[in-house]
Amino acid sequence: MVTTAANRAIEQQTADSHDAEKNNFSDSRNDGERRADDSNRRDNNDPRHTKQPRQNNQPRRDKRDVHGWVILDKPIGMTSTHAVAILKRLFQAKRAGHAGTLDPLASGGLPIALGEATKTVPFVMDGRKRYRFTVAWGEERDTDDTEGRVTQSSELRPSADAIRALLPQFTGLIEQIPPQYSAIKVQGERAYDLARDGETVELKPRPVEIHELTLVEHGDNGQSVFEAECGKGTYVRALARDIGRILGCFGHICALRRTLVGPFRETDMIPLEELEALCNRAASGEGSLADALLPVETALDDIPALAVTRADAARLHRGQAVLLRGRDAPNSSGTVYVTVAGRLLALAEIGNGELIPKRVFNLTGLTASPGRSNERV
């Protein structure tokens, strides 16, 4: 057995729904996406909800097992929920989900997990995010983006030097008050619901980490372009709001693009048009949708890998612990992802001389093309 790198604690699969929206451009609109899911809770006896025949006698396509990650370069104007639905249809996948909502007004990386990759979503959501965003100076808005109403305004415009001098205050571990229009719960209610009802709520400051914040462009048009790399829970909209307040000119975000999510880089992103074209070629036998998939284990880049024998793999697959013995047995503890013959088998915990399975993967079906892993090296 061979183990690598340092260990980290395994995350629970069940993540709070608002954690998936921590870095939204304006997460208030995503509530509408969740309410749309209520349409699935129907009374089967209600004649208004009886199943209608398919138009044009089109056959229903059977769903299939598809496992891997697609890093969609989401276009502006599309919700994250809609993007997942489109990819699920293109791949005819049984299961799909995303690792962190990206608002309709934002573009860029939306990692979409298919099949068994959904078990690794928490590892992606806990990773760093990088954004490129534009701040419009002179107005603060109640949503901290272009869709809100103006609450404060100023004729002042900051200089590039004044902005750069302020950025160290917003770098490192800082306290940040979330936007009024955010998914944080206040006495059981989402903050954005209360804000839409006209209520003003006092949201408490929360610690967030900004690893890097730089000014990349500053023009004479009253706008500045920034890049930020931040940890889980950071609101980029709040950065624009707070910088504008200190500078005395006020500000809000008018453009946002996500360029990094956990292990997924901008070079991993694929536009929707390219996916649709690949789907058409695959339907005619000229290609495979597997070429668009990244392996499930791509989300586990920061976790040590442990190779086991086929005999040990059989025990782990049945949910049974494996004793770690011999000179090649790892002397560390913590979370590892387990492989057998180079193939992902499970997420497991090492402790007290045992390897205990926590998540077992069944990768039968469509998976990433063999060359996709090597492309990222």
Question: Which residues participate in catalysis according to the annotation?
Answer: 103
Enumerate residues 6+ apart whose C-beta is below 8 A from 196: 28, 181
Q: Which residue has the tokens 């536009």?
A: 271
Gap between the Cα atoms of 147 and 25, Å rounded: 11
Cα distances from 3 to residues 304, 308, 333, 334, in angstroms, run 6, 10, 11, 11
* Residue 195 CB neighbours (<10 A): 20
- Tokens, residue 168: 């160290």
| Distance set, CA 166 to CA 47, 108, 225, 351 (Å) | 62, 27, 15, 47
Compute and round to an integer the Cα radius of gyration of the chain. Answer: 23
Label the pairing between strands 107-114 and 96-98. antiparallel
Residues facing residue 212 across a β-bridge: 229
